[in-house]
Amino acid sequence: MIRDEHYRAKQLHRARGVDDLERTVDGVCREIDACVERQGIARVLELGCGYGTALLELRARYGSRAELHGLNRFRDDGNAEILLRSATERGLAADVALPHMAYGDVAEGLPFADDTFDLVYSQVAWLYFGNKLGVIREVIRVLRPDGLAKIDADEVRPGLPTEYARLFEIWQDGALLPFGDYLRRHGMAFAQAPMGEYLHFGKVKRFGCDLTPVFEIDLSRLHAHWDGIKCVYVLQKSVSEV
């Protein structure tokens, strides 16, 4: 059982709800509405769901019309007991089953079958993911053919030194290739939300096959006030370019 003082201390970051979600990735409820209208049910996954407030609010709004899943790295980040406590405190208790919870390091893969979800979103966790390329490829794998992902993933983080402001850094022939430029090559893009940009994509083929990981660095090891895992890649020449 999580201690009350720990539960309260982490609420600010782990209890973000749908209003926060709409400010960071925009249009989640609109996408679920469209999916429900189209097929009667929406299958939804939140990466780094914390205390599951957004999932609980979606549960209250959609009931059995949404199959809701959350993924945390550790059980203490948010589990079924915490979800039930959070639902009770917020008056969100209902007859509909709690969202399904899974645990694991997103950088090591997602514990779900191919083509499972209509919508995958994340609102605060991207900067803490290692293997960011692998995370995107895994999200693509678990998306249904007409599925959509919305990931709060600013290309450049303000407030950090230039050397560390880019958390997904790509180099090509000794020159920096902006992440946004690489995304556009694959029909992907950053979209605008009220509080900045987010990564918006669907079931893309072969994304990242031409990128080779070089190294990762945990910025918190350089300075106590810095957060994030910086991932650096090299773009390899295709056979047609050689």
**SS3 readout for the chain:** CCCHHHHHHCHHHHCCCHHHHHHHCCCHHHHHHHHHHHHCCEEEEEECCCCCHHHHHHHHHHHHHEEEEEEECCHHHCCHHHHHHHHHHCCCCCCCCCCEEEECCHHHCCCCCCCCEEEEEECCCHHHCCCHHHHHHHHHHHEEEEEEEEECCCCECCCCCHHHHECEEEEECCEEECHHHHHHHCCCEEEEECCEEEEEECCCCCCCCCEEEEEEEEHHHCCCCCCCEEEEEEECCCHHHC
144-194 confidence digits (pLDDT tens): 999 999 999 988 988 899 999 999 999 999 999 999 999 999 999 999 999
16-63 confidence digits (pLDDT tens): 788 999 999 999 999 999 999 999 999 999 999 988 899 999 999 999
Top-level CATH class of 4-156+179-206?
alpha beta
Could you state, in order of their start, the residue ranges of all structural domains in the chain?
A: 4-156+179-206
